[in-house]
Amino acid sequence: MRSSMGMLAVLAIGLAVPAVAQQTTTTDPQIQKEAAVIVARFTEVTNKGDTQALGELFTNDAILIDVYGRHTTPEAIQDSRRNVHSMGLTVTTKVEDVQSVFGGQGMLCVASYTGSYRNNPLALQVHGNEMFVLEKTGDDWKIVGLTVSRQ
């Protein structure tokens, strides 16, 4: 029994060392800046309730998953944000991490957010995380996927 426990400990350490030793990727500052612009724009249009501008940020096949459900069409995404705006949501965001993916044609962007509702007594103050999946479309970046979670 002791021998098995000792082997498990050695195995756990042996598996953990490569994970710790993995290199972290450094994202190009320009990519980080571009991601921050998209996140800031998303926050701005969400706070204003500008669903027209919001629609321009997303691809036609984008998916938004938030605390209100899964939205898989441009109309559903706009309706979701319209609903959030009607509850008086105002948010601020901070980009925490950006990674280039798909040979530079995509980005994963993690942001934290804090917000408050004026018309939602069940959630006056909120905070959590967002993960944006961005795709290069011509010269522009578009949101192809977004998840929003509360803590």
Judged by DSSP in three states, 72 sits in coil
* Beta pairing class for 58-66 and 140-150: parallel
The model's pLDDT over 48-93, given as tens digits with 9 standing for 90+, comes to 999 999 999 999 999 999 988 999 999 999 999 999 899 999 999 9
Q: Using one digit for the tens of pLDDT, what is the confidence trace for 7-25? A: 333 333 444 444 433 334 4
Q: Where do the domains of the chain lie, and which CATH numbers do they carry?
A: 26-150 (3.10.450.50)
Q: How far apart are CA 19 and CA 148, in angstroms?
A: 27
pTM of the model: 0.79
Which of 140, 146, 147 has its CA nearest to residue 37? 140
